Amino acid sequence: MPQRQRGTGARKQFTAWLFLVPALLVFGLFAWWPIVRSLLLSFQKTNLVEPAVWVGLDNFRTLFDDPLLGTAVGNTLFFVVLGLLIGFPAPLILAAIMSTVRRGAGVYRFLVYLPVVIPPVVAILLWKWFYDPGSGLFNNVLGKVGLGPYSWLESSDSAMLSLVLEATWAGMGGAVLIYLAAMVGIPGELYEAAEMDGAGIWRRIWHVMLPQLRSVIGLLLLVQLINTVQVFTEPYVFTGGGPENSTLTVLLLIFRYAFQDGEYGQAAALSFLMVLALALLSAVYLRATRSWSTS
């Protein structure tokens, strides 16, 4: 009997691995092999046509000698900070407001989620018209109250903020729906108990809603942090990194190395460093949130 059970267990394990191995191979091919290939490429000088030449750490040395690297890193961090200050609380606030709406709730959710389904390039081109100094929507509206016109994208002082506003609008819908779904799961008895204790709306939000949404907030914060670090489409389509490299981000610099300068080794080196930075950032964040959630 024990031998028969062992045989049955071995067959089950074999069947499980039979289904698991193809998935692991596909995952490794599309997830891990590009990272390994990028690491190998970072030690080579190649144009992807002629045979590659092994150059060791030369690509990394050239990379750190490039003054544009510091500019790109600084701009990326600036975008991350603005994105978190503006784009992170906005969906939570909007979801809290929408959770109190009963009539037409479906319509509001559709309107909030609509920017997510619009192709990013189409949305950016629409916002480029909004930002147009002469005929743009924003300057026309501000002109009616005696303000402007402003050079939203042409000024290095306002270009990054303009990108963040569009990115917040474009990506907010998904987070709003996730928050709304989480709010539905909060027991109504908690709100009733807080109200019986004399808690106003703000105290109910602070002491009931936010603690119940702690895990969701932590997850969405990590997702937005990673997404903002990897920003590319907005600076590429809006400004191409200008004016005066004020919107040049790390991913846009990688694009320039590879497809404008033909320095695929440098592009791979910077890509690999970015992967390491994101992995380290995610590990530190998850460790911090794990200790926060258990405290």
Per residue in 131-155, pLDDT tens? 998 888 898 988 888 887 888 999 9
| pLDDT score of 254 | 95
| Range from 15-19, 60-64, 264-268 carrying the lowest mean pLDDT | 15-19
Question: If DSSP codes are grouped into helix, strand and coil, which group holds residue 229?
Answer: helix
| pLDDT score of 33 | 86
Neighbours of 156 (CB within 10 A): 15
pLDDT in tens, 94-123: 988 888 787 877 888 888 888 888 898 999
User: If you search the block for the tokens 């906005």, which residue do you land on?
Assistant: 90
What are residue 53's phi and psi, to 5 degrees? -115, 125
| Cis amide bond preceding 133, omega within 30 | no
Question: If DSSP codes are grouped into helix, strand and coil, which group holds residue 149?
Answer: coil
* Structure tokens that stand for 84 in this block: 């978190």
Per-residue pLDDT at 180 exceeds 70:
yes
The pTM score is 0.85
From CA 178, how far away is CA 92, in angstroms rounded? 9
Q: Which amino acid is at 27?
A: F
Q: Which amino acid is at 1?
A: M
Among the listed residues 269, 273, 287, the one whose alpha carbon sits nearest the alpha carbon of residue 43: 269
Task: Return the CATH fold of 73-244.
Answer: MetI-like fold (1.10.3720)
| pLDDT score of 295 | 57
| pLDDT score of 112 | 87
